[in-house]
């Protein structure tokens, strides 16, 4: 079966797991998606399935796209994406729903992050900034951006103020907490990129997300004393 699906992010809530723990989840409305084209090695040089999502009026599309949907004899849609996987059981016109995923699956979630406009270096690059009082006159400025005599220019990738957000972000190895195929809903543990009603791509994976440990936590783990066996009591 195909390995991915398209949908929209509805928002976040919290649910209780089977062991009684409360988990934050993101609710996604995934599918239904319709197969518009199945690409093969003979015709296209690779294997993939082109999926359509979110039906839209025909007059809202360009003429080439109208012809593409008309040739496949499927309803016109707003979004077209390609997915890989086992395509032996797929054909043009087949509908794929949220039932593709099961509880406990690991997925990679791709979306466009929230736009934050033009931001300074403290918010955009986590600069410390200067003193806030005593007339320092240096509060939220970037500071020096290079030497004058050499190299007499600004190095590439220097952290500067600028546009922040609206980037394509992929969060890997998230767990599927619940699936409701009748409502086209999938509950993902944790946060996913993007705002409400943002387009989301969900792809199956086998790799679990790595938990990043803070420097303080790792240092504390290293300093943790190891328990030594007590020496045997001497016989009198």
Q: Residue 100 is part of a domain; what is its CATH number?
A: 2.40.30.10
- pLDDT tens for 153-163 read 999 999 999 99
pLDDT above 80 for 212:
no
Q: Is residue 206 part of a domain?
A: yes
As a whole number, the mean pLDDT across the chain is: 90
Q: Is residue 227 part of a domain?
A: no
Specify whether 138 is located in the same domain as 42.
no
> Which are the contacts of 193, defined by CB distance < 8 A and separation ≥ 6?
109, 110, 111, 112, 113, 169, 170, 171
Specify whether 43 is located in the same domain as 159.
no
Q: Which residue has the higher pLDDT, 217 or 78?
A: 78
The residue behind tokens 């359509």 is 52
So what's the pLDDT on residue 86? Answer: 81
What mean pLDDT is predicted for residues 49-53?
A: 95
When divided into structural domains, the chain yields a total of 2
Q: Is residue 235 part of a domain?
A: no
Specify whether 34 is located in the same domain as 45.
yes
Task: Find the range with the poorest average confidence among 71-80, 81-90, 168-177, 193-202.
Answer: 81-90
Handedness of CA 172, 11, 166, 101 (dihedral sign): positive
So what's the pLDDT on residue 6? Answer: 96
So what's the pLDDT on residue 67? Answer: 96
- pLDDT tens for 14-24 read 999 888 999 99
Q: Is residue 28 part of a domain?
A: yes
pLDDT above 60 for 236:
no
Specify whether 39 is located in the same domain as 63.
yes
So what's the pLDDT on residue 17? Answer: 87
Model-level pTM? 0.81
Q: Is residue 139 part of a domain?
A: yes
User: Quick check: 2 and 199 in contact, CB under 8 A?
Assistant: no
User: What is the rounded CA–CA span in Å between residue 15 and residue 21?
Assistant: 8
Specify whether 107 is located in the same domain as 35.
yes
Q: Which residue has the higher pLDDT, 207 or 212?
A: 207
Range of the domain at 176: 4-115+167-222
So what's the pLDDT on residue 219? Answer: 67
Specify whether 150 is located in the same domain as 126.
yes
User: Quick check: 84 and 38 in contact, CB under 8 A?
Assistant: no
Specify whether 28 is located in the same domain as 76.
yes
Specify whether 25 is located in the same domain as 63.
yes
Specify whether 58 is located in the same domain as 121.
no
Specify whether 65 is located in the same domain as 76.
yes
Specify whether 181 is located in the same domain as 157.
no
Respond yes or no on whether the N-terminal peptide bond of residue 32 is cis (omega within 30° of 0): yes
Q: Is residue 234 part of a domain?
A: no
What mean pLDDT is predicted for residues 96-114?
A: 94
Q: Is residue 229 part of a domain?
A: no
Q: Is residue 228 part of a domain?
A: no
pLDDT confidence of 224, banded at 50, 70, 90?
Answer: low
- pLDDT tens for 127-164 read 999 999 999 999 999 999 998 899 899 999 999 999 99
Closest CA to 106 of 169, 172, 8: 172
Q: Which residue has the higher pLDDT, 92 or 221?
A: 92
What mean pLDDT is predicted for residues 59-86?
A: 94
């Amino acid at each position: 079966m195909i390995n991915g699906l398209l949908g929209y992010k509805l928002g976040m809530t919290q649910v209780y797991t089977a062991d009684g723990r409360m988990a934050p989840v993101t609710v996604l409305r995934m599918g239904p998606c319709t197969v518009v084209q199945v690409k093969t090695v003979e015709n296209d040089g690779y294997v993939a399935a082109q999926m359509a999502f979110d039906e839209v009026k025909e007059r809202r599309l360009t003429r080439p796209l109208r012809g593409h949907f008309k040739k496949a004899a499927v309803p016109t849609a707003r979004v077209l994406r390609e997915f890989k996987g086992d395509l032996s059981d797929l054909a043009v016109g087949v509908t794929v729903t949220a039932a593709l995923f099961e509880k406990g699956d690991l997925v990679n979630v791709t979306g466009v992050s929230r736009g934050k406009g033009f931001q300074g270096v403290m918010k955009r690059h986590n600069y410390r900034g200067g003193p806030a009082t005593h007339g320092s006159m240096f509060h939220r400025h970037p500071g020096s951006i290079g030497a004058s005599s050499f190299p007499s220019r600004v190095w590439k990738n220097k952290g500067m103020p600028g546009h922040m957000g609206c980037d394509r972000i992929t969060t890997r190895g998230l767990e599927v907490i619940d699936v409701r195929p009748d409502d086209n809903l999938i509950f993902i543990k944790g946060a996913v990129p993007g705002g409400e009603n943002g387009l989301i791509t969900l792809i199956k994976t086998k790799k679990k997300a790595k938990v990043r440990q803070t420097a303080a936590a790792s240092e504390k783990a290293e300093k943790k004393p190891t328990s030594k066996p007590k020496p045997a009591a001497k016989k009198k």
